[in-house]
Structure 1
Amino acid sequence: MERAYSLLTVRSADDAARVIEGIASTPTPDRYGDIVEPLGAKFRTPMPLLWQHDARAPVGQVEFATATADGIPFRASIAIIDEPGTLKERLDEAWQSVKAQLVRAVSIGFRPIEYAFMDDGGMHFLEWEWLELSLVTIPANSEATIQTIKSIDTTTRAALGIGGGHVVRLSQPARARASKAFVIQTIHRENQQ
């Protein structure tokens, strides 16, 4: 199975539902020089959402995805269970890591169907079967960072007497550089109460 890392734009972080939204794949070359064409994706949802590409560590499901020329926007949920144990700990760790911006990227696991070798040595995956999406710590794509996390449960929080939601915006991802070095983004907080 091949893996390709890409942009994770978390637009919403709802504690009650643990829903994340983002971009699963872009046509930007990764640090290995490979390109995975978003419009070449073949998949069905729901699809497994894994923790760090470990097939023994599922954390949720990809519920929605649609391919565009610029990328594949997706919506996924991290499961919630109340029973104490290893599974609860893994699910809570995954959710807390995304919210705390410690895990800021996603990676697709796929099977190539049609591909071509490029002059620079990379591969251009024209058609591929998308098997899983993983939350990952270290992306191969220099643009693989979370841009926005927005709490969407402000009504519920207000009803419980908890302060309103807030938006955290990260600076724009750096464009791929020749060295394709990892760039740490600056965090800006808005609407804090």
Structure 2
Amino acid sequence: MGSGIYKIANTVTGDLYIGSAVNTDRRIYRHKYLLNKQEHHNPILQNVYNKHGLNNLLFEIIERVEDKNDLLSREQFYLDKLNPKYNICKIAGSSLGLKHSEETKKKMSESHKNMSEDTRHKISLSQRGNKNHMFGKKHTKKTIQKMSKSFKIKNPWGELITGKNLEQFCRENNLHSGHMSEVLRGKFRHHKGWTRV
């Protein structure tokens, strides 16, 4: 137990996911739990699990980090060095209350601006049909009311955004409303760099 950087490696293909956590044991357990429940926030990783199974995923701590304030910079080091295929966002993000530097904000901005149409299309396809966690389900009236309430979020560049209809906002900004709901509830750290306030 402790803070550090971890990887999830596909032993069949060698492809990776890189993450950081204050409690790596708990985070790795959470990954396995969500994958098994078919509820993982990363659709790429969920598809890999569905295709290859847990036995072909290696969960390994690659560096212990004593000071949690160094977690993001160390995670970013490994994201840049290893270029992991399974990370949706190549910019280290966290719910530790740490702020991104101006350089990191600029990188995040550029990574979203320079995303090819092919990549956007692949991300879109990865969220459709039975791959979508809401496939075949309907929102309750209570959930619909919650979604229509006002919300406050920060965009990847650190600007505060307020709005009324999360569903509509997500459609207009090419975001997944289910993932953004999880961000607002504190279940996900971020979605495409967007965080809760």
**Shorter-chain TM-score: which interval?**
under 0.3
Structure with the higher helix share, 1 or 2: 2
Q: TM-score, normalising length from structure 2?
A: 0.26
Structure with the higher strand share, 1 or 2: 1
Higher relative contact order (CA 8 A, sep 6+): 1
Q: TM-score, normalising length from structure 1?
A: 0.26
